[in-house]
Amino acid sequence: MRRHRRNREGPLPVDVFDTAAHELGFQLDANQQRAARVLATTRDDVYLWGPPGRGKSWLMATYFAALTTDRKRRVHFHEFFHELHSAVRRHRYDLTAALDGLLRDVEIVCFDEFHVHDPADGRFLARLLPALLDRKVRIVLTSNHRPHALMPNPLFHDTFLPTIDLIERRLTVIGVDGEVDYRSRSDHRSGFAAGRWLFPGTRDQELLAGLDRPGPGDRIVVPAAGRPVTARRASAEELWIAFTDICVRPTAPSDYLALARNHRRWVVDGVPDLESAGAEPAQRFANLVDVLHDLDVPTVFLADTPLRRLAVGSGMPVEVARMTSRLHELRHGEPVTDKEEPRTAAS
């Protein structure tokens, strides 16, 4: 029998957000203050949207950490979609039973990076969102897009309008779209931001980054969620893998999630400019960056292109702005010539 739960979590003090921001050395802007107030003092379902780096995920993470209940879950939308599709198949395509299995004891669920570009995903979301809202679970979503910018393909946008209308009617929609990209202020101390973008990836740069390059013939087959992948080195401490093996060969976000959980640090070797890589490898690379960033995995990218030239041209991945914003958190190791001024992470 289906069991619904109402969120019994009481209001949070708004100064939870102010205190967390102060510890990081910044003050909340007006939109962040509004979002914090809604998250802390209401039980509304919330849709936070805005450009990359404006603090949406930070607001969600701060809210999630402050909750006293253990009946909560925070998950990247890529990951939840993969889990749900598997659960639906296990439950013979019964969506309600699948959701019961995944969210049986959850009162609050936070989805990072909600987006929809694929028409098949849009059709599934048209079923999923009403089912989630009917469970009486508080939902908090972050997205780079205002609701009406979801499903941007004009051939399919109209078919998604009823779902957009449901979002706008049932969720409190808040734009977190201030002028400052906070990722450009990264202090590079830990996690993903402690990684590097090294161009042209010389031996000297590798040594300065503390890297010990594998031998020319070193190869190891590593299990992932789907088919195995071939890496140049794999241990609990480090996964060293070539762009061709992780992005050119057929892989999926579920593979990146499985690998990221088993290897504490990554080195991705031979990253080209994405236009020359092709549309599918470029999209896989963008998905890989999403996963490594969201799981906060320190990653060194040994690149054949400077970061500013990575995503120039046609055929760029969807959510390209999010990808480049995340990569700008990294420390850069690009040589500076007399004809070129140094670029900051915000440029």
Question: Residues 210-263: pLDDT tens digits?
Answer: 899 999 899 999 999 888 999 999 999 999 999 999 999 999 888 998 899 899
**In the predicted model, is pLDDT for residue 296 greater than 60?**
yes
Q: Which residues contact 142 (CB under 8 A, 6 or more apart)?
A: 48, 49, 56, 57, 59, 60, 111, 112, 113, 114
Domain map (residue ranges) of the chain = 15-175, 183-333
Instruction: Output the CATH code of domain 15-175.
Output: 3.40.50.300
- Which whole-number Å values give the CA distances from 18 to 34, 255, 341, in the listed order? 12, 37, 37
Return the SS3 of 54.
coil
Closest CA to 268 of 290, 291, 293, 247: 247
**In the predicted model, is pLDDT for residue 274 greater than 90?**
yes
- Which whole-number Å values give the CA distances from 66 to 14, 19, 63, 193, 295, in the listed order? 11, 12, 5, 24, 19
Instruction: Output the CATH code of domain 183-333.
Output: 3.40.50
- DSSP letter at 175 equals E
Return the pLDDT at 9: 60
pLDDT category at 324 given cuts 50, 70, 90 is very high
Tens of pLDDT, residue by residue over 248-263, are 999 988 899 889 989 9
Tens of pLDDT, residue by residue over 22-80, are 887 788 999 999 999 999 999 999 999 998 878 898 899 999 999 999 999 998 887 78
Site of tokens 């007006």: 30
**In the predicted model, is pLDDT for residue 339 greater than 80?**
no
Site of tokens 């619904």: 4
Domains 15-175 and 183-333 share a fold: yes
Q: What value does the mean pLDDT of the chain take?
A: 87
Burial 73-92 (b: 16+ CB within 10 A, else e): bbebbbbbbbbbeebbeeee
Tens of pLDDT, residue by residue over 5-20, are 445 566 888 899 999 8
**In the predicted model, is pLDDT for residue 185 greater than 80?**
no
**In the predicted model, is pLDDT for residue 144 greater than 50?**
yes
